[in-house]
A and B are shown apart, each in its own frame.
Chain A
Amino acid sequence: MKWTRKDLLSLADLSAGEINFILETTAEFKGVGQRRMKKVPSLRGKTLVNFFVEASTRTRTSFELAGVRLSADVVNIAATTSSLSKGETLVDTAKNLEALAADLIVLRHSAAGASQFLAERLRAGVINAGDGAHEHPTQGLLDVFTIKERLGRVEGVKVGIVGDIRFSRVARSNIHALTKLGAEVTLIGPPTLVPREFARLGVGISHSLDDVLGDLDVVNLLRIQHERQKAGYFPGTGEYASLFGLNAARAERLKPEALVMHPGPIHRGVELDGAVADGPHSVILDQVTNGLAVRMAVLYLCGSVSGEKEA
């Protein structure tokens, strides 16, 4: 097959074949990071705009480095420096970027669907770097890549996603990618954060980490946001940690080869203890390395196709 999309908006849109295509491309770009010359000329002469209307350091840095490694010219725009704060609409800002001949726009926005909105209106390729509680496709891809790299397969792997599922774009992207590739996914957390409706996505639901922990091949712990506590979704971080935190005692009940994942930034002592984050099960830094390779692959693929539409 060939890759024919100019945009990456969600993993729900993609077929299993397309997801595997990106994962295979990622493996080659990971190899580029091990060469003496870590830069390839694929996007030479192209302009990549990182347009972050919501704060982010690690995702933006990862996309920035990915663009640089592909030889694109990279510009970063943060919400506070853009005219959005002066009342310009999102599409006007983006059309201005396109008038400056941006070939690829990486968008992080608090509104679900913002990337799709831009993608439908611009010739440039649009990469969703997180849109509200909708999706964060490159995070889902890097998580699946890390699982496949470490365990050799995705099909049949038992993955537990723990925490704030309700508001998590990371969870949604992971669920779509994992179920399409045949993993068995269980969502774990308090009923307020793991609503029953998620079962429709073809996943299991558990409100007890202790019940399912020993059966999991992968434990992916999501960041708990303090705003949720204020809104009453759970009583306090101490109680959350005692029920759903992966501490050293719980980690002893993991399968020997089980992986512990976290999209970062970690709240040590809340979602997981420091000893577990730094311990033998942890692949958290692999996720960071793989994130760069995934983003290079996605920019390479979508950048090639968006150039085609202009030609």
Chain B
Amino acid sequence: MKIKAKLQIGAVLSIGITVVISIILFLASRQVDKAVRQSGAVQNIVTKVFESNLLLNDFLLRHEEQAESQWHGNHEALGNLLAALTLDDVEERGLMNQVRGEHEKTAALFSQLVEGNKEQRRDRDEIISFLELEEKVADELSSRSRAMMSHAAALAELSQARAVGAQRQGSILVVVFTAAVTLVLAVTLVMVAGAVVNPITKLMEATRIIADGNLEHKVDVTGDDEIGMLASAFNEMTHKLKDSYTGLQDAFNEMARKLRKTKKEAKNQQGE
């Protein structure tokens, strides 16, 4: 394989791996973003659930309209947050559904509590009966509210762990693919160095030997790459140079031979 082709393959391979890495890192970073976003949304839900619990306690203490309207506002905001959140993880979805279920039930219980407070009661029995009912409803509401808080906290914990996991996975991917690109580049460089440096060293050595006058020397470099072709051309050139030298030597000696013969003949003629 030609050196140019080896370099081209190395370059294409590096570009290919870099593109794949970029895509994978892009997807990983999107996953991290999503996990962090979901974790943030779950934190907001936890805050709203906590606030809802505080407002419920406030209403149970004072039975004021302000606390009631704040509870409803908070309940609606919490409902919007719960509706907007989509989760991929099955466990998280399970917890989420539990929070949603508690959320719906608390709405019904709170309405029941508020309506009961608005009704007019005349005798003592009615009042006692109402207070007993209110206590029961309030207990259930508090219990549901605490359950909602507990589910939301568990959900927040899971969501945060998933975000951290996604970030860790992204970091591992960066390390693995950086190592892969480094390996491909190193292998390409070693291959090219082997294909170029060693034969060139042999060619340099051969040049020195031939320059010293040994025209019989042959460069021991094979292969169909550029260096192999250069070595072949070098050997051919040396062969032609040797032929040329031999030709020159033979021509000279033939001429000298003829000159000696001519001189000898002339001398013989003089002698006669």
Tell me if chain B binds chain A. no
